[in-house]
Structure 1
Amino acid sequence: MHSIMIICPDNSPLKESEKWLSRYGFQVNISNTLEQANKYYELSEFHLLLIDQEAINHIEASSAELPSAPHRIILDAKPSLSIGINSMAQGAAYYLPLPTDSETLLKHVVNALEQNDHPDPASTQNQTPQVYFSNTAKEERLTLGTQGSGIIGQCPPMQSLFSDMRKIAGTDVTVLIRGESGTGKELVAKALHNLSQRHNHPIISVNCAAIPENLIESELFGHEKGAFTGANSSHDGLIYAADKGTLFLDEIGELPLEAQARLLRVLQEGEIRKVGATQSTKVDIRLITATHRNLTDMIQQGLFREDLYYRLYVMELLLPPLRDRGDDISMLAKILLEKACQKHSKPICNYTKTFDKAIRSHRWPGNVRELENAIERAVILSPPEKIEAANLKLASQQPPNNTTNHSPMSDADSKNLVGTTLDDYFKHFVLSHQHKMTETQLAHSLGISRKSLWERRQKLAIPKKVTAEK
């Protein structure tokens, strides 16, 4: 049986690996510091050390020495090239980012133990640790859940999501991503692309709600010169731009029915025809779509094509809302706090218990996007080197018993609106008129663009209730 020593502070993500490494049959001990480990154990008797870089920083500050044996893996919550090269120059087998998912860490643990069991004298004499580190940047980028991958999380729902993503990333199947607004659907799409065989080709991201209805077909499929007024030259379109790569259509539920029919042909025939063209062009794309809406309800309302839905619904990925992600909330908040401080050229603020309590007590209806905005707001408003929870300025969440129904208010009711905010008026106007106006007409009446209307709907959580005419 192989014995492993884990050396990390109490708050380190590395500490969680003790349980699952034990379940795999390893004999695991854990210490909070290197001094403690040296005091109570003979480290040379362990087959492998797993060390949080924070513990190494501590001994460097006290001028102590890092043990030269046995094999060790260094894990760092703030990975950098210089530290990685230095770690391996001092004998580390691998240098990995924290947090690292269990599959990746287990793979490196097994590799390090195999090197220990079957050492290669030639490689020991002419060791080139840079080879190990040269893969670290790629591993960090492709290891789901780490900061380098762009999508962060360690909670069980996210680990289940990552497991599904790894299984389907190497295929070309169409993927439908569902989740609330602000959960990171585009990040999932980009991670799937980076893990796929198409990663050397472009990923084209399109927000279907952000393009005016009269332009969306031209933007997606392209147009010929003279196809319509203002078409002064030929345009290839975004689908053609994604050829050999990935096309990500966000808010697919906002795609007009005419464009849905054209998209269906792309999926069925693998070809596009520009607006005003007579010839079709072959394209090779992997399609990923996302929505926060219930597409089956939209099918019943005649707003979404059923045949297209079944073309899109080959694989489905569900993103959990932030409120259901447990300790991920604190982990994300710390990363976003550091990012906001750097963005606004402020010293990195300490993440306090009071600040964390305020973060964890909020329901986050806007999910990660709302969390990022709130933390940036707090960084801007707080004094230097200090973050104040009050500056998050989180909107109080009223219980739903005050909103017994969301039916449109009458004109008589609207005359009684006294002292309301612009947001209240906006919400009232949309709810009162959306049953008889299109999105374009609503936007025109409010003096804003269709994109702005869609963004305000997301911000104010205004349901899109369209009643089909009989």
Structure 2
Amino acid sequence: MHSIMIICPDNSPLKESEKWLSRYGFQVNTSNTLEQANRYYELSEFHLLLIDQEAINHLAESNIELPSVPHRIVLDAKASLSTGVSSMAQGALYYLPLPTDSETLLKHVVNALEQNKQPAQPSKQTTHVLFANTAEEAKEESIALGSAGSGIIGRCPPMQELFSDMYKIAGTHVTVLIRGESGTGKELVAKALHNLSQRHNHPIISVNCAAIPENLIESELFGHEKGAFTGANSSHDGLIFAADKGTLFLDEIGELPLEAQARLLRVLQEGEIRKVGATQSTKVNIRLITATHRNLIEMVKQGLFREDLYYRLYVMELLLPPLRDRDDDISMLAQILLEKACLKHNKPIYKYNQAFDKAIRAHNWPGNVRELENAIERAVILSPPERVEAANLKLADQQKQSSTTNISRLTEHDLMAGTTLDDYFKHFVLTHQHKMTETQLAHSLGISRKSLWERRQKLAIPKKVTN
């Protein structure tokens, strides 16, 4: 049985890992401080130490040197590049942010224990960390983009070109527009840019503009004063204010109503926001990252997007390749996602077999990485313990159902003779959108507002122009 020592204050998020690590069969001991752990235990006898950076900071404040504690993972609620480099220089196997979800931490624990079996010190090739491996590499590679720990996995030429651009852009404060199909990982790119930037100690606030009802989006983004509208029983600061000194990521920026576009333009031009119902503005300092899979310049021509805002957003552009254009990345992604799904559902780690890979490589993946992850999770849940089966990806069934799922409540009377469901959907939306809100349209079709938005993109149905 592997023994693990957790060293952290009682209020640390790391404390919660004691119970679930014990359930996985590890022998776990805990201490509040490194001094306490060193006093009552022989730390060298533990297979692995999980240490909250706060406990290490306490040593420094007391002018006490860090004891020799091999095979350790350092976790930090205020993760930063400089601390990560320092932790690596002092011998940590991994440096991870807190809180870290149980799946991620378990994976790193298992990897660290595997390294522990080898007599030599972990090498650069066998040790993966959130930040750079050495201080000399910090400027060139502050996060190992392309590796599992960065959240963005890929080795193909288009992804390497993307990573190169990200490293160049991250250290600046310029506005970034990320373009790519749905499911390609635009939010992951935004988060990686934030983590690489000088703002990494401050929050990144992510907003899906398509997921917020039109009548609420200005209030959610810019805040409102008490009494500004019916139901505004208290003042609300808004998500842009919450991102002050950090990064604001607006996903699907093309779905932002024109009124909200005008307000956002003021934020970029003046560096200030004015709440709904307020008479005075408040200064904010944000870095704006936006994303879309729509052609914004075409929307400008159609009067659906402000031209002045477009040129404010289009300072730097990053293009994410679709999964079907990423060649061998598909197999590599599938293997990593297979292991992740096994850990998530407490399944044995399936061997990635040839039939499974063949089925995955044969599919076109219109939903990109998100679709791949969902398909693999299905296969893990449905497959027998001894083998993951390609048939359980259910790819063919999913394609057959995709044309009928979103309009399940339509009756035969609703459909026009000789038309497909897509034809009817487009006809219904174009006919009724000038007298209905997006929420009312979605309700009439029996789908969610997000599903309505997704089918608009698929069928290229323009939204009504708001004067």
Q: TM-score range by the shorter chain?
A: 0.5 to 0.7
- The answer to whether the 8 Å contact 2:254/2:296 transfers is yes
2:302: which partner in 1? 301
2:153: which partner in 1? 152
CA distance in 1, matches of 2:113, 2:443: 55
CA distance in 1, matches of 2:466, 2:265: 25
For 1:80, give the aligned amino acid.
N
CA distance in 1, matches of 2:175, 2:337: 31
Are 1:450 and 2:423 an aligned pair?
A: no
Are 1:183 and 2:213 an aligned pair?
A: no
1:5-25 deviations in Å (ceiling 9; x for gaps):
xxxxxxxxxxxxxxxxxxxxx
1:353-392 correspondence runs (5 A): 353-392=354-393
SS at match of 2:432: coil
1:55: which partner in 2? none
For 2:164, give the aligned amino acid.
S
Are 1:323 and 2:324 an aligned pair?
A: yes
Are 1:244 and 2:245 an aligned pair?
A: yes
- The answer to whether the 8 Å contact 2:129/2:149 transfers is no
- The answer to whether the 8 Å contact 1:141/1:148 transfers is no
TM-score (norm 2): 0.67
CA distance in 2, matches of 1:235, 1:183: 33
For 1:149, give the aligned amino acid.
S
For 1:243, give the aligned amino acid.
D
- The answer to whether the 8 Å contact 1:430/1:442 transfers is no
1:80: which partner in 2? 111
Give the deviation of 1:456 after TM superposition: 5.5
Are 1:465 and 2:466 an aligned pair?
A: no
1:31-430 correspondence runs (5 A): 80-84=111-115, 90-92=120-122, 94=124, 96-97=126-127, 142-395=143-396, 414-416=415-417, 425=421, 427-430=422-425
CA shift in 2, pair 1:92/1:336, >3 Å: closer
- The answer to whether the 8 Å contact 1:236/1:274 transfers is yes
CA distance in 1, matches of 2:424, 2:271: 43
Give the deviation of 1:465 after TM superposition: 3.0
CA distance in 2, matches of 1:230, 1:469: 24
Give the deviation of 1:142 after TM superposition: 1.3
Give the deviation of 1:469 after TM superposition: 10
Give the deviation of 1:97 after TM superposition: 4.5
SS at match of 2:415: helix
Give the deviation of 1:91 after TM superposition: 4.3
Deviates more, 1:387-396 or 1:185-194: 387-396
For 2:282, give the aligned amino acid.
T
SS at match of 1:249: strand
CA shift in 2, pair 1:97/1:323, >3 Å: farther
Deviates more, 1:92-101 or 1:150-159: 92-101
For 1:90, give the aligned amino acid.
A
For 1:378, give the aligned amino acid.
A
CA shift in 2, pair 1:233/1:92, >3 Å: closer
Give the deviation of 1:432 after TM superposition: 1.1
CA shift in 2, pair 1:255/1:466, >3 Å: closer
CA shift in 2, pair 1:214/1:83, >3 Å: same
2:429: which partner in 1? 434
1:7-22 correspondence runs (5 A): none
Q: Percent of counterpart pairs with the same letter?
A: 73
SS at match of 2:396: coil
SS at match of 1:204: strand
CA distance in 2, matches of 1:397, 1:341: 22
CA shift in 2, pair 1:281/1:466, >3 Å: closer
For 1:462, give the aligned amino acid.
L
CA shift in 2, pair 1:363/1:247, >3 Å: same
CA distance in 1, matches of 2:231, 2:315: 38
What stretches of structure 2 of length at least 5 have no aligned partner? Answer: 1-92, 95-106, 400-411
For 1:229, give the aligned amino acid.
T
What stretches of structure 1 of length at least 5 have no aligned partner? Answer: 1-73, 112-134, 399-410, 419-423
SS at match of 2:263: helix
Higher Cα Rg, which structure? 1
CA distance in 2, matches of 1:201, 1:276: 28
CA distance in 2, matches of 1:93, 1:355: 32
- The answer to whether the 8 Å contact 1:323/1:364 transfers is yes
Give the deviation of 1:81 after TM superposition: 3.2
- The answer to whether the 8 Å contact 1:141/1:149 transfers is no
CA shift in 2, pair 1:466/1:187, >3 Å: same
Give the deviation of 1:187 after TM superposition: 0.3
CA distance in 2, matches of 1:353, 1:368: 20
Give the deviation of 1:96 after TM superposition: 4.1
Give the deviation of 1:343 after TM superposition: 1.3
- The answer to whether the 8 Å contact 1:251/1:289 transfers is yes
